[in-house]
Amino acid sequence: MAGLETASDAGIYRLTDEIALVQSVDFFTPVVDDPYDFGQIAAANSLSDLYAMGARPLTAMNILCFPVKEERPEVLGDILRGGIDKIHEAGAVLVGGHSVEDSEPKYGLSVTGIVHPERFISNAGARAGDVLVLTKPLGTGVLATAHKAGLLPQEVVGRMTSVMKALNREASEAMIETGVNAATDITGFGLVGHGLEMAEAGGCRLVFSAGKVPLIREALEFLRQGFIPEGDYEVRRYCNRKVEILPGIDRFILDMLFDAQTSGGLLVSLPESRAEAFVLALLQRGLVEVAVVGRVEEGPGCVRIEP
C-alpha cells in the first residue's frame, strides 16, 4: 500500500480489511559519547518512521555493528539497554536481532507496527490550503558536529540528547486524534529535503516561513561559528533543483532549514481549520516547542522559503 514510490517513511502491506503491516529499518554511528543515550536515540529514530505514518509499534529487532576486540563489553551492554528501554517506552517488544563485528559501532532497529489500512498517514496527502506544523526544533546536526569537535558544553549536550531521544509517539497520537492530511519525520534530509519529498509526493508546493521555524538556540550560535555538517551540503545539492529561496532571509537561519537531523520531529500537513486543535493537542501532551511553520499551495512538487 505504500513504499518506494513516494519515498514513504515506512512500507505498508495490507494483511486484512482491518490490519496493515508497517515496517521500517534504520541504524547509524554514534552521535553522542554516552552509549546508553546513543542506544535510546537510535531506537527513537527507528521508531519515528512508524509514528510518522500513524502506526502503533509492536516489535523491534536489533541491528548492531560493534568492535568487540577494541571496546569494553560494558559499552555494548549500555547501547542495547538504551535501545530496549526506548522500545519498552514505545509499548513494543524486542524479538531478536543480528550483530556483526565492525571497526565502528553502529546501532538501530528493524521495526514492525500495525495500522488500519484506511487510516494510515502518508507523505503524499498534503493539499493546497493546508498549514504545516513542526513538532521538534531543528539544530541537532549542527550540535552533533560541534560535539564531535569537543566544543559543546555539557548542558548543551544534554539539551541536544533530550531532543533526539524523545519519541514522536505523542505527536503521532495527536495526529490521529485531530485528523491530518500528510506527515513525515525530519531526519537526514533536513526540513527542506523532507518537505520537498512531501511536495513531490503530493503534487503541491510547500512554503516555509523561515522566521517561524523552531530552532535550538545554541545550534544557531555554533552555526555562526562555522560548524556546518557535511550532510547539510548534500541536502542543499539534492534540493536546489526545486527550491525557491526568497530574499531577506538570515543566511544562518536558512542554513538551519537544511540541517540534517537525527531523530527529528514530525512535519505535519493539515487543514487550517484543524491547526489550532492540533497544536493544542500537542501542548497538552507536553510538546512545547511546536510551531506552525508554513503552508501548502498549488504547485508542481516544489518548495519555497520566505522570510
Per-residue pLDDT in tens (0 to 9) along the chain, 307 residues: 776 776 778 899 999 999 999 999 999 999 999 999 999 999 999 999 999 999 999 999 999 999 998 889 999 999 999 999 999 999 999 999 999 999 999 999 999 999 999 999 999 999 999 999 999 999 999 999 999 989 999 999 999 999 999 999 999 999 999 999 999 999 999 999 999 999 999 999 999 999 999 999 999 999 999 888 877 888 888 888 899 999 999 999 999 999 999 999 999 999 999 999 999 999 999 999 999 999 999 999 999 999 9
pTM of the complete model: 0.95
What is the 3-state composition of the chain as percent helix, strand, coil, each rounded to the nearest 5? 40, 25, 30
Quote the CA–CA distance of 132 and 198 in Å, as a whole number: 11
Domains and CATH numbers, the chain: 4-115 (3.30.1330.10), 130-306 (3.90.650.10)
Quote the CA–CA distance of 180 and 176 in Å, as a whole number: 7
